[in-house]
């Protein structure tokens, strides 16, 4: 009798262990499935952004007269921007080093047009939205200054993105300044030829002595980048 109870207990224990094992296995499978499912959902909602640092390589942009290269400021700012948005977006850079892009275009045209054509091709292929980074110049008036955000006139979404960035620039960069960022309609190639919402941000005037200094200052560049990234994130949240 005692033996039978003992054998029965062992059998029961074996059954219990088997059921427990089965239960754990099911839990594990559900967990793996859920993670995969969440990843699929997350990725299908993940926005892709193209960051386009203007100029590069043979094309140094504006500023040479002052011994400063626009292409370097653009790249520096764009790389800082990448760091701030890469948690929330899949980021593609049109360039992440000091190069021009004409070699990436099959267009039979001038170096300048080939470079722009390559940029728009990358943006159209990899972007749900894009930002081009540039430095401005006013050769006729050294007092001209300020951040300007350009969008294509008929693109309502680009206009929203531009205003979203402006709001943050005014808050973060111009906090203690009467100056405000300007949103401007413009028929630039990169704005016209691209199929997703996007803006071109001129982060300051190299011809203005104050902004020339600011654009070489890390703190200012971080403020600019912070405001652009916040503007992009706020826009993306609303447009989801
Ligand atoms: Zn430029």
Domain containing 87 — which CATH number? 3.40.630.40
Distance 94 CA to ligand 1 centre (A): 14
Q: Which of 49-53, 60-64, 164-168 has the lowest mean pLDDT?
A: 60-64
CA 17 to ligand 1 centroid distance, Å: 70
Shared domain for 110 and 219, answered yes or no, is: yes
Q: Where are the alpha helices (DSSP H) in the chain?
A: 2-45, 70-85, 111-126, 156-172, 189-192, 209-214, 218-239
- CA of 165 relative to ligand 1 center, distance in Å: 19
Is the dihedral angle over the CA atoms 183, 188, 189, 195 positive or is it negative? positive
pTM for this structure? 0.81
C-alpha 122 to ligand 1 mean position (Å): 18
Both 36 and 84 in one domain: the answer is no
Task: Supply the range of the domain harboring residue 17.
Answer: 1-45
pLDDT of 38 > 90? The answer is no
Domains held by the chain: number? 2
Neighbour-count burial of 234, counting CB atoms closer than 10 A to its CB (0-12 exposed, 13-18 middle, 19+ buried): middle
53 and 153 co-located in one domain: yes
183 CA from centroid of ligand 1 (Å): 17
pLDDT of residue 28: 83
5 and 80 together in one domain:
no
Residues with CB under 5 A from ligand 1 (ion): 54, 61, 134
Identify whether residues 216 and 114 lie together within a single domain: yes
Q: Apex CA 86: angle with CA 230 and CA 54, to 5°?
A: 80
């Amino acid at each position: 009798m005692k033996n039978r109870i003992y054998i029965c207990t062992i059998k029961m224990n074996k059954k219990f262990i088997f059921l427990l094992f089965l239960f754990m296995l099911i839990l594990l499978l559900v967990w793996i499935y859920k993670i995969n499912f969440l990843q699929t959902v997350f990725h299908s909602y993940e926005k892709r952004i193209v960051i386009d640092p203007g100029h590069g390589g043979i094309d140094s942009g504006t500023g040479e007269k002052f011994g400063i290269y626009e292409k370097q400021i653009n790249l520096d700012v764009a790389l800082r921007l990448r760091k701030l948005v890469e948690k929330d977006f899949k980021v593609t850079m049109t360039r992440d080093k000091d190069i021009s892009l004409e070699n990436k275009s099959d267009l039979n045209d001038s170096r300048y047009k080939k470079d722009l054509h390559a940029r728009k091709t990358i943006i159209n292929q990899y972007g749900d939205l894009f930002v081009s980074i540039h430095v401005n110049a006013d050769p006729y008036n050294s007092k001209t200054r300020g951040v300007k955000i350009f969008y294509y006139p008929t693109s309502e979404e680009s206009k929203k993105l531009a205003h979203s960035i402006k709001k943050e620039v005014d808050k973060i960069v111009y906090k203690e300044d009467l100056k405000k960022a300007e949103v401007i309609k413009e028929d630039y190639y990169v704005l016209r030829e691209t199929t997703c919402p996007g803006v071109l941000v001129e982060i300051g005037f190299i011809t203005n002595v104050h902004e020339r200094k600011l654009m070489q200052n890390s703190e200012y560049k971080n403020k600019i980048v912070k405001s652009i990234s916040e503007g992009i994130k706020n826009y993306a949240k609303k447009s989801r």
